[in-house]
Structure 1
Amino acid sequence: MEQNWFFPPHQGIRLGDLANQIGAELLDVTVVDRVVRSVAPVYRAKPGDVCYMLSRKSRDELQSCHASAIICDKAISSIIPPNIPVLLASKPHTAFALAGALLYERALRPSRNTSEQGIAPGAFVDPTARLEPDVEVEPMAVIGAGAEIGSGTRIAAGAVIGPDVRIGRDCTIAAGASILCAMIGNNVIIHPGARIGQDGFGYAPGPKGGMIKIVQVGRVIIQDYVEIGANTTIDRGTMDDTVIGEGTKIDNLVQIGHNVRIGRYCGIVSQVGIAGSTRIGDGVMIGGGTGVNGHITVGDGVQIAAMSGVASDVPPGERYGGIPARPMRDFLREIAEMALRASERQKKKGGKDE
Structure 2
Amino acid sequence: MSARTFFPQERTIPVGELASMTGAELSDPGLSETSIRGVAPLSRAVAGEVTFALSRRNTAELSATRASAVFCSKAMAVAVPRGTAALLTPHPHNCFAKAALALYPTAAQPGPMTNATGISERAVVDETAVLEADVVVEPFAIVGAGAQIGRGSRIGPGAVVGPGVTLGRNCVVAATACVQYALVGNDVVLHPGVRIGQDGFGYVPGPSGMEKIIQVGRVIIQDSVEIGANTTIDRGAIDDTVIGEGTKIDNLVQIGHNVRVGRHCVIVSQVGIAGSANIGNQVMIGGAAKINGHLSVGDGAQIAALSGVASDVPAGARWGGVPARPMRAFLRDAAEINARAFGRDKNRDKGDE
Q: Distance in 1 between matches of 2:131 and 2:350?
A: 78
Alignment map for 1:1-354 (pairs within 5 Å): 1-62=1-62, 64-208=64-208, 210-354=209-353
Aligned to 1:78, the other structure's residue is in SS state helix
CA deviation profile, 1:200-243 (whole Å, cap 9, x unmatched): 000111212x1111110000000000000000000000011000
Aligned to 1:307, the other structure's residue is in SS state coil
Amino acid at match of 1:36: I
8 Å contact kept, 2:265–2:283: yes
Deviation at 1:64, TM superposition (A): 4.6
Deviation at 1:33, TM superposition (A): 0.9
Deviates more, 1:331-340 or 1:222-231: 331-340
Deviation at 1:49, TM superposition (A): 0.4
8 Å contact kept, 2:47–2:68: yes
Where does structure 1 lack aligned partners over 5 or more consecutive residues? none
Q: Distance in 2 between matches of 1:343 and 1:197?
A: 49
Q: Distance in 2 between matches of 1:237 and 1:90?
A: 43
Amino acid at match of 1:9: Q
Amino acid at match of 1:101: L
Q: Distance in 1 between matches of 2:162 and 2:335?
A: 52
CA deviation profile, 1:23-65 (whole Å, cap 9, x unmatched): 1111110011111011100111011100011012122323552
Amino acid at match of 2:225: V
Deviation at 1:353, TM superposition (A): 3.4
Deviation at 1:343, TM superposition (A): 2.3
Deviates more, 1:232-241 or 1:5-14: 5-14
Aligned-residue Cα RMSD (Å) equals 1.1
Deviates more, 1:78-87 or 1:212-221: 78-87
Deviation at 1:76, TM superposition (A): 2.0
Amino acid at match of 1:348: N
Aligned to 1:71, the other structure's residue is in SS state strand
Deviation at 1:90, TM superposition (A): 2.1
Point out 4+ residue stretches in structure 1 off by more than 4 angstroms. none
Amino acid at match of 1:11: R
Deviation at 1:344, TM superposition (A): 2.0
8 Å contact kept, 1:43–1:63: no
CA deviation profile, 1:145-165 (whole Å, cap 9, x unmatched): 000000010001000000000
Amino acid at match of 2:34: R
Deviates more, 1:189-198 or 1:83-92: 83-92
Q: Distance in 1 between matches of 2:351 and 2:115?
A: 74
Deviates more, 1:74-83 or 1:89-98: 74-83
Deviation at 1:247, TM superposition (A): 0.3
Deviation at 1:186, TM superposition (A): 0.3
Aligned to 2:70, the other structure's residue is in SS state strand
Amino acid at match of 1:214: I
Deviation at 1:74, TM superposition (A): 1.8
Amino acid at match of 2:295: I
Deviation at 1:196, TM superposition (A): 0.1
8 Å contact kept, 1:44–1:64: no
Deviation at 1:339, TM superposition (A): 1.5
8 Å contact kept, 1:10–1:38: no
Aligned to 1:176, the other structure's residue is in SS state coil
Deviation at 1:21, TM superposition (A): 0.6
8 Å contact kept, 2:116–2:137: no
TM-score, normalising length from structure 1? 0.98
Q: Distance in 2 between matches of 1:268 and 1:75?
A: 33
